Amino acid sequence: MSDSPGRRDSAASSGEFGALVAGFARRMRIPYLVERHDATAIMGLFAFVNGLISIGLMSMAALVTGSPFIFPSLGPTAFLLFYTPTAPAASPRNTVFGHLIGALSGYLALLVFGLHADPPALASQVSAGRVGAAALSLALTAGLMVWWRVPHPPAGATTLIVSLGILRTPTHLAVLMLAVVLLTVQGLVINRLAGIDYPRWHPRA
């Protein structure tokens, strides 16, 4: 049985609307925009908007839950994810494992120097033990990231956050890593929607 004229017109309208939406989505993607506009301006706006959204969401989660979902090293991670998303350091694998190495190295340094129950260095006098913990944590983080080929520079800040006692309990570290994973998922979704060839896990060759 053939379609009535009304149905054909409706189907045609739906097809035109779908094409319109697809065309608009294509024109809003980063590769299309940088071909027709100043690349620095476009990438700056992209980094601005998505840095605002991603860190704003993490800050809101911290406000609602009272947990440390926001900490200084998330800032440079967000910058990498939205300014150099195809760089190896911004890949999901490097981001997650880099921060994990930093957090565990910082906590190990606290245990080695017996500082896991001490107040943060910023709230007390810096001791020789705290200096040793900070140095050991950063050395471990740098070495392990290189040996395991998961470089992510912001992890150097994460390890100091832990070894200086700002975040020092296993619960804090679990929340820290959850925040890293959530930010990485945001980066994956946003970059993919923007048409950027952001890796799903491993860095691009």
Mean pLDDT of the chain: 87
At 130-174, the pLDDT tens digits run: 999 999 999 999 999 999 999 999 999 999 999 999 999 999 999
What is this structure's pTM? 0.84
Q: Which amino acid is at 123?
A: A
**What is the secondary structure of 88-132 as a DSSP string?**
GGGSHHHHHHHHHHHHHHHHHHHHHTT-TTSPPGGGSPPPHHHHH
At 6-39, the pLDDT tens digits run: 555 554 455 564 554 444 446 568 888 888 888 8
Task: Find how far residue 119's CA is from the centre of its chain.
Answer: 28
- Give the C-alpha distances (Å, rounded to integers) separating 96 from 88, 151, 184: 12, 10, 8
Query: pLDDT-based confidence at 118, cuts 50/70/90?
Result: confident
Record the tokens describing residue 42, joined without a space: 């476009």
Q: Which amino acid is at 131?
A: V
- Residue 174 CA to residue 131 CA, distance in Å, equals 24
Identify the CA nearest to 83 among candidates 190, 203, 5: 190
> Minimum mean pLDDT among 3-12, 50-59, 95-104: which range?
3-12
